[in-house]
Amino acid sequence: MKLQQGQIWKLNNQYIRIVHLERLAVGYKRMQDLESKQGGHLMVTKKEFCKLIKKAILQDPKTLNKEVTTPVPAVEFPK
């Protein structure tokens, strides 16, 4: 598996997105929710990052776009 900038990995209940990729280092953002995009930025070595995502699942970008852009149905209140 080749690491690429923009990849999103799911580890337990968190998402990890690669935001900066260098030869020996990886900058990533850890998020609980993809819609809010709130989370912290971290920088680690590639070796540490590979250990981190060892049990993670690479998310399919086509599937993620459908999940994020799916509109929430409107709630109608009685008058």
Query: Over the stretch 9-38, which tens digit does the pLDDT of each residue have?
Result: 999 999 999 999 999 999 999 999 888 889
Quick one: what percent of the chain has pLDDT higher than 90?
A: 63
Residue 1: pLDDT band by 50, 70, 90 thresholds? confident
Interatomic CA distance for residues 32 and 12, integer angstroms: 10
Segment among 22-26, 46-50, 52-56, 66-70 with least mean pLDDT: 66-70
Break the chain into its structural domains and give their ranges. Answer: 8-60
Q: How far is residue 56's CA from residue 16's CA, in Å, rounded to a whole number? A: 9
Radius of gyration (Cα) for the chain, nearest Å? 16
